[in-house]
Chain A
């Protein structure tokens, strides 16, 4: 198993930049998520690590060895494709044993290894079936089998659950994470589903427009977003952005939001002009004591909580509150914010302003 270091890697397709200089480190045994909307460069990044695309510039280290220009066969990395890519002219057993045969492993050893992998994945009884008639889940297991059978240094997975039904996806996600925990293999996993990334990942890289927006643990990315894009992309519903004209200075912990003083984490930099007050819906509370008023537009009942959509003087926002609270559309309510969890952004650049909340996270990435 291995550590993967991606250093200033860049990929151009003609004039089109698929990935701008990107750097991150995947530690040994980590379940690493590449997250972003479609077309952001996450799959290209994955394919460069696997060797299916060669970077235009930059370096990729696998266990300290520079591999960026080597063919995939010399990298010892397994890849699970979104569309499975099982060899259609071979049965399940042959599909799983194919990587071993290329290594010249003796027949008896191949047989034993395939049986072992089939046992891990629970697919012993379909080994001699053609791949054509298998269900989506079984095909996914066979594809995983083909990946784990040769015990590679790392696994690359390109939206492996994307082709499965929603119901089955949940189950497969658990199975995958369980498999990873048992094998402890370094895994790089591409997804556009932020929930999947939060649920399964040890670390997440959020990409947008060929650029890495943020790199960190799910908690860091959720609570301390580095950009408005990350804050918006992660979380459902996403972070509220209250736009205001204002000014912060290093050391100050107060901003004026439409004439109301709101406490924020102590700022470490100065900014002035169009700013954004970012707060997650679960950090917005309804309070009759507050003079910051907003009008209720709608309430969605979700069982344990409800999402209330409100119209404030600084724009629309959502609050996640207890399902038992009763609020009706049309009511005017007071709002309070959990000040320790507020992030301020510069609206023109979309960048988060440094504060005591996010300083540590922003300085390492």
Chain B
């Protein structure tokens, strides 16, 4: 074989492309790495200038994130020796841990609301998309346009009416309310994305299943759903990322019971001065679930399982 090929990129172009991709990845990674590192810095290191890249790592930020602490007199501190390693860390500021912070609870709220609304959006979206794709729905085009039209302005534009509606319906500061709200915002995206994916699945598969003795619903979940997995996975990621990161509605509509992590994390700043390591620790932990979810879904994102079974 000669070294020249039309389809194979040359060694040099591979090298250039690789360098570009890695450089771009590194640049986008910098803020994330910065947050990750700050989480392990002491408050002094976190605000030192020039910024420290090499520092003594400490779990102070994480301890502060998960606990509430009070300052105590020297006599009290001497009378009560530290209970554990976390206690020991806060003693250097003459403090003792008096209990857990709200972070765990807020984080769980985020999990419940984020995954709950994602599940609901996908569930309703898949059924609606299947119906739009396969059945004769009266006013189909108008309905689809109507669903899309809910996306034509930023959701926050209707924050005040929603706030009033929620207050009257008793949905303010409830998990259910937030799940319904995020589902409402995500459903249009879910229906449109999933309809596209389901449109691409040839009808013959369901017809084959119908002929093979299955009902329409069995054909849907045994034959259509597995093939729509790619679409469902990517739609779920989009829905989760929106619901997980949403800040404005969460600030407005939640407080004591259903507050999610995004509005909570900034409040840490006010508690004991500018506690950047605790904020960074909160942000780091906050990133993990979406990351895990995306990695889990990644194998479904790879196309190709449907390749070749039907000749187009």
Task: Contact check, A132 vs B207: say whether CB atoms are below 8 A apart.
Answer: no
Say if the beta carbon of A29 comes within 8 Å of chain B. no
Task: Contact check, B214 vs A73: say whether CB atoms are below 8 A apart.
Answer: yes
| Residue interface bits A196-219, CB-to-B below 8 A is 1, else 0 | 000000000000000000000000
Say if the beta carbon of B283 comes within 8 Å of chain A. no
Give Cα A86–Cα B207 distance, bound, in whole angstroms.
11
List the B side residues contacting A83 at CB < 8 Å.
Answer: 202, 204, 310-312
Say if the beta carbon of B210 comes within 8 Å of chain A. yes
Task: Contact check, A84 vs B309: say whether CB atoms are below 8 A apart.
Answer: yes
Say if the beta carbon of A42 comes within 8 Å of chain B. no
Give Cα A150–Cα B214 distance, bound, in whole angstroms.
14
Task: Contact check, B212 vs A133: say whether CB atoms are below 8 A apart.
Answer: no
List the A side residues contacting B226 at CB < 8 Å.
Answer: 89
What's the least CB distance linking A113 to chain B, in Å? 14
List the A side residues contacting B312 at CB < 8 Å.
Answer: 83
Say if the beta carbon of A270 comes within 8 Å of chain B. no
Total cross-chain contacts (CB, 8 A): 87
A73 and B307 contact, Cβ closer than 8 Å, known pairs A81-B204, A89-B227: no
| Residue interface bits A153-168, CB-to-B below 8 A is 1, else 0 | 0000000000100000
What's the least CB distance linking B219 to chain A, in Å? 10
Give Cα A1–Cα B12 distance, bound, in whole angstroms.
67
Q: Which of A78, A89, A134 sits near B305, CB closer than 8 Å? A: A89
Task: Contact check, B212 vs A99: say whether CB atoms are below 8 A apart.
Answer: yes
Number of interface residues of B (CB under 8 A): 24
A146 and B204 contact, Cβ closer than 8 Å, known pairs A84-B310, A85-B310, A132-B308: no
What's the least CB distance linking A121 to chain B, in Å? 17
Task: Contact check, A146 vs B212: say whether CB atoms are below 8 A apart.
Answer: yes
| Residue interface bits B293-312, CB-to-A below 8 A is 1, else 0 | 00000000000011111111
Task: Contact check, A71 vs B210: say whether CB atoms are below 8 A apart.
Answer: yes
Say if the beta carbon of A292 comes within 8 Å of chain B. no
**Size band of the A side of the interface?**
20 to 34
| Residue interface bits A54-87, CB-to-B below 8 A is 1, else 0 | 0000000000000000011100011101011111
Task: Contact check, B310 vs A87: say whether CB atoms are below 8 A apart.
Answer: no
Say if the beta carbon of B215 comes within 8 Å of chain A. yes
Give Cα A190–Cα B308 distance, bound, in whole angstroms.
23
Interface residues of A in 78-111 (CB under 8 A from B): 78-79, 81, 83-89, 98-99, 102-103
Say if the beta carbon of A114 comes within 8 Å of chain B. no
A102 and B212 contact, Cβ closer than 8 Å, known pairs A85-B310, A163-B311: yes
Say if the beta carbon of A52 comes within 8 Å of chain B. yes
Give Cα A102–Cα B204 distance, bound, in whole angstroms.
18
- Chain B residue at minimal CB-CB distance from A52: B207
Give Cα A136–Cα B308 distance, bound, in whole angstroms.
10
A86 and B214 contact, Cβ closer than 8 Å, known pairs A52-B207, A81-B204: no
List the A side residues contacting B211 at CB < 8 Å.
Answer: 50-52, 72-73, 77-79, 99
Contacts A51-B211, A84-B204, A85-B310 known; list 10 others, CB within 8 Å: A51-B210, A71-B215, A72-B210, A85-B309, A86-B310, A87-B209, A98-B209, A99-B212, A132-B305, A132-B308
Sample 10 A-B pairs with CB under 8 A, ordered by A number.
A52-B207, A71-B215, A73-B210, A73-B212, A79-B207, A79-B211, A84-B309, A85-B310, A87-B205, A146-B208
Please give the residue numbers on chain B whose beta carbons come within 8 Å of chain A beta carbons, in ascending order: 202, 204-205, 207-215, 218, 223, 226-227, 305-312
